[in-house]
């Protein structure tokens, strides 16, 4: 750790996690997260108003916890970074307002950053400076994107979308299939766990947007809605025929279909662009099968795979701080104090003006 | 120095009080956009009084009731600033600031009510005595259910004149009056907790819908 690297505090409140991270350069000092996930479980999805209320209650205690863990005083911080989009509007606003209050009270610059780019930047905390260019596959309950990253701070279209989901996000499909199988919310970790006992080739579920015709128009796009329906039909048919549903086999076969499409398209994109580094981030990157499959297939193509540890893949403040730290290091102009929360912020807008 | 602000109405309002009177204040010219406007207005108010954040000794914040999204912007800003600066943060019922202003400007004489816009065709309402002391907990309901011929201050009366025929200004909270009310110890100081008065809208989902038609295909 170089002592004069910037000390940055990052705030993330785009969904149901109140995250406050503190980094110095590429070194992670604290990653405090308060989650309201338990309050949403019985609704089968995140309820925006419930999430916003929880952010307000958790905000200051989480800032305090991050400072305690990092062993720093707030006055030591060189800059504040905050997710200003995309995400749930009311939830984002709590973090943005708190970040502004910090910047204003401390007299320090604020960087309003893009949540998706932060998911990519977080890898620097684990594997050091991001290779640029790299190809980023971001998969979570809210997003499924393939990004060509030539400058993670976004200059000159440095974060360029090559493809995205045309319907459900990958994580959403995990949640819906989990519910169908009677597994708890959020579905990802439960499917992953149950799938280990199952046979991934037991059922041949469809791979969305992989037919020759689809590839012409949607070569790097994803679709998980048809897969979700196929799983629902299969399970329902079983139930109607009075046979037990082989939960582990369904989970494993579904997971295999999702991972197969994600990895296949990501590697196709990397090969097409001549990019040798693939970064996988977002909550679904915590999936053990996705990691294993990506490693295995990428190695054969001479492509290196970088996946942060699961705790850094889900939404957190450290990823925001990591991107903020890069903004400071590259001398980017801080955002204005009137920066908005933008629920539909495009991925190409990495830093708010 | 006391910094006061309120975001429980469509108007963002900020004021600075030096112990004897309000030394600077600002009210947003654009309605809504609380998250964008509050911090720059605080910065502007401090600068126009030649004050720095470190000069602040306390913060008073409107705790609602009011539209939730804006309300939270004010509360999280107050809590965060209070935490950084190590100063007290007081919540004040946003209707109380309107009541004090109404009394001090002679808009009312004797008992009265304050009603603000709660959206969804409802109002937030509380009752006050002639000195502006609140005599009931704020409630949220349909105007028809709260209708009265007594004087009613606030936007709720202006929006629903059939229910509140004796409506009058002021319409929305003004941080200058919030600051004066707190400095003069004329309002109850609360924890900086939001007065939501409503539970979040959320529905527990039904069992997954069937996707099959009458005849089940072979799996
Ligand atoms: Zn995310």
- Do B216 and A236 lie within an 8 Å CB cutoff? yes
**CATH number of the domain that A240 lies in?**
3.30.420.40
- Cα dist from A274 to A222, A302, A303, A304, whole Å: 21, 11, 10, 12
Q: Are A13 and A335 in contact (CB under 8 A)?
A: no
Residues of B in contact with A230 (CB under 8 A): none
Q: Is residue A273 classed as helix, strand or coil in its secondary structure?
A: helix
Q: Which of B44, B78, B85, B211 is the mutation pick for testing A, counting most A CBs within 10 A?
A: B211
Q: For residue A284, is it within any domain?
A: yes
Tokens representing B84 are 């950084």
Distance CA B15, CA A350 (A): 34
Residue A175: phi and psi, rounded to 5, are: -60, -45
Mean pLDDT computed over every residue of chain B: 93
| Residue A349 forms part of a structural domain | no
Same domain, A299 and A194: yes
Interface probe for B, chosen from A101, A172, A245 (most Cβ of B below 10 Å), is A101
Do B2-95+172-183 and B107-168 share a fold? yes
The whole-number average pLDDT for the span A227-245 is 95
Q: State the nearest Cα–Cα gap between B160 and chain A, in angstroms.
A: 27
Gap between the Cα atoms of A86 and A220, Å rounded: 21
Residues of A in contact with B33 (CB under 8 A): 340
Distance in angstroms (rounded) separating the CA atoms of residues A284 and A138: 8
A38 and A111 belong to one structural domain = yes
Q: What does the alpha-carbon distance between residue A257 and residue A207 come to, in Å, rounded to a whole number? A: 6
Q: Where are the domains of chain B?
A: 2-95+172-183, 107-168
Distance CA B155, CA A93 (A): 25
Residue among B61, B30, B75 at smallest CA distance from A338: B30
Q: Is B105 an interface residue toward A (CB < 8 Å)?
A: no
Q: What is the ipTM of this complex?
A: 0.92
CATH topology of domain B2-95+172-183: Nucleotidyltransferase; domain 5 (3.30.420)
> Please, which residues have CB within 8 angstroms of residue A62's CB and are 6 or more apart in sequence?
A18, A19, A20, A32, A33, A34, A317
Assess if residue A234 is contained within a domain: yes
Q: Please give the distance of CA A39 from its chain centroid, rounded to a whole number.
A: 21
- CA-CA distance, A81 to B124, in Å (whole number)? 36
Identify whether residues A65 and A207 lie together within a single domain. no
**Same domain assignment for residues A68 and A136:** no
Whether cis (ω within 30° of 0) applies to the bond prior to B65 is yes
pLDDT of residue B82: 98
pLDDT per position as a tens digit, A167-189: 999 999 999 999 999 999 889 99
Domain check: are A182 and A105 in the same one? no
Query: What residues does B124 pair with on adjacent strands?
Result: B116, B140
Name residues whose C-beta falls within 8 Å of residue B193's C-beta, 6 or more positions apart in sequence. B63, B75, B91
- Cα B48 to averaged position of ligand 1 atoms, centre (Å): 40
pTM for the whole thing?
Answer: 0.93
DSSP-based three-state secondary structure for B104: helix
A353 domain-assigned: no
Mean pLDDT of chain A, nearest integer: 95
CB contact under 8 A, B205 and A43: yes
- Residues B107-168: name the CATH superfamily: ATPase, nucleotide binding domain (3.30.420.40)
Which is more confidently placed, B167 or B217? B167
Smallest CA–CA separation between A112 and chain B, in Å? 12
Residue A248 lies in a domain: yes
Are A136 and A242 part of one and the same domain? Answer: yes
| Closest Cβ opposite residue A101 in set B39, B68, B69 | B39
Cβ–Cβ under 8 Å, residues A31 and A311: yes
Question: Which member of A49, A232, A241 has the closest CB to residue B200?
Answer: A49
Neighboring chain A residues of B84 at a CB cutoff of 8 Å: 74, 101-102, 105-106
Specify whether A61 is located in the same domain as A142: no
Q: Are residues A145 and A256 in the same domain?
A: yes
B202 CB near a chain A CB, below 8 Å?
Answer: yes
pLDDT at A142: 82
Domain contains A283? yes
**pLDDT of res. B216:** 32
Q: If DSSP codes are grouped into helix, strand and coil, which group holds residue A153?
A: coil
Does A143 score more than 90 pLDDT?
Answer: no
Q: Same domain, yes or no, for A149 and A290? A: yes
- Residue A59 belongs to domain spanning: 7-122+316-329
For residue range B97-153, list pLDDT tens digits in order. Answer: 999 999 999 999 999 999 999 999 999 999 999 999 999 999 999 999 999 999 999
Closest CB to A43: pick one of B39, B202, B208: B202
Residue A339 counted as domain residue: no
Give how far B168 is from chain A: nearest CA, Å.
32
Residue A337 lies in a domain: no
Looking at the 3D structure of chain A, how many domains does it have?
2
Residues A202 and A226 in one domain: yes
State the Cα–Cα distance between residues A279 and A296, nearest whole angstrom.
14
Can you read off the two tokens belonging to residue A139? 């998969």
Q: How much is the average pLDDT of A263-292?
A: 96
């Amino acid at each position: 750790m170089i002592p004069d690297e910037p000390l940055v505090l990052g705030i993330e409140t785009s969904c149901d996690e109140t995250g406050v991270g503190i980094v110095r350069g590429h070194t992670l000092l604290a990653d405090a997260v308060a989650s309201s996930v338990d309050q949403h479980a019985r609704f089968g999805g995140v309820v925006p108003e419930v999430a916003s209320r929880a952010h307000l209650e958790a905000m200051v205690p989480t800032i305090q916890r991050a400072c305690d863990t990092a062993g720093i005083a707030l006055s030591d911080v060189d800059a504040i970074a905050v997710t200003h989009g995309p995400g749930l509007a009311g939830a984002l606003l709590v973090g943005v307002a708190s970040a502004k209050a910090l910047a204003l009270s401390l007299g320090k610059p604020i960087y309003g950053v893009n949540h998706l780019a932060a998911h990519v930047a977080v890898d620097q905390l684990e594997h050091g400076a991001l290779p640029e260019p790299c190809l980023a596959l971001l998969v979570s309950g809210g997003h499924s994107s393939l990004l060509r990253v030539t400058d993670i701070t976004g200059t000159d279209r440095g974060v360029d979308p090559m493809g995205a989901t045309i319907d459900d996000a990958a994580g959403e499909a995990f949640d819906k299939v989990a519910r169908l199988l009677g597994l708890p919310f959020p579905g990802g970790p439960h499917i992953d766990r149950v799938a280990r006992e199952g046979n991934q080739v037991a059922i041949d579920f469809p791979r969305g947007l992989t037919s020759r015709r689809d590839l012409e128009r949607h070569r790097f796009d994803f679709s998980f809605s048809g897969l979700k329906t196929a799983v629902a039909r299969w399970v329902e048919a079983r139930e109607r025929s009075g046979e037990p549903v082989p939960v582990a086999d369904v989970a494993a076969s579904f997971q295999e279909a999702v991972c197969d499409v994600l990895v296949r398209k990501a590697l196709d994109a990397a090969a097409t662009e001549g990019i040798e580094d693939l970064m996988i981030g977002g909550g679904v990157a915590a999936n053990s099968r996705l990691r294993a499959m990506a490693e295995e297939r990428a190695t054969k193509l001479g492509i290196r795979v970088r996946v942060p540890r699961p705790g850094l893949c889900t939404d957190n403040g450290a990823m925001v701080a990591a991107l903020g730290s890069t903004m400071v290091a590259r001398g980017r102009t801080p955002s204005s104090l009137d920066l908005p929360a933008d629920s539909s912020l495009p991925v190409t807008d990495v830093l708010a003006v | 120095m006391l910094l006061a602000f309120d975001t429980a109405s469509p108007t963002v309002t900020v004021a600075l009080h030096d112990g004897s009177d309000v030394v600077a204040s600002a009210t947003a010219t654009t309605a809504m956009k609380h998250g964008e406007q509050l911090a720059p207005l605080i910065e502007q108010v401090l600068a126009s009084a030649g004050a720095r954040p470190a000069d602040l000794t306390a913060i008073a914040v409107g705790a609602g009731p009011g539209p939730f999204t804006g309300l939270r912007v004010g509360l999280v800003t107050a809590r965060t600033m209070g935490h950084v600066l190590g100063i007290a943060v007081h919540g004040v019922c946003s209707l109380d600031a309107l009541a004090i202003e109404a009394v001090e400007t002679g808009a009312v004489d004797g008992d009265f009510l304050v009603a603000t816009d709660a959206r969804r065709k409802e109002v937030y309402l509380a009752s006050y005595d002639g000195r502006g002391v609140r005599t009931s907990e704020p409630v949220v309901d349909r105007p028809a259910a709260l209708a009265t011929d007594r004087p009613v201050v606030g936007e709720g009366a202006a929006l629903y004149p059939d229910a509140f025929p004796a409506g009058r200004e002021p319409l929305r909270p003004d941080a200058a009056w919030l600051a004066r009310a707190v400095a003069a110890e004329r309002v109850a100081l609360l924890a900086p907790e939001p007065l939501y008065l409503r539970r979040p809208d959320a529905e527990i989902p039904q069992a997954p819908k069937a996707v099959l038609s009458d005849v089940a295909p072979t799996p």
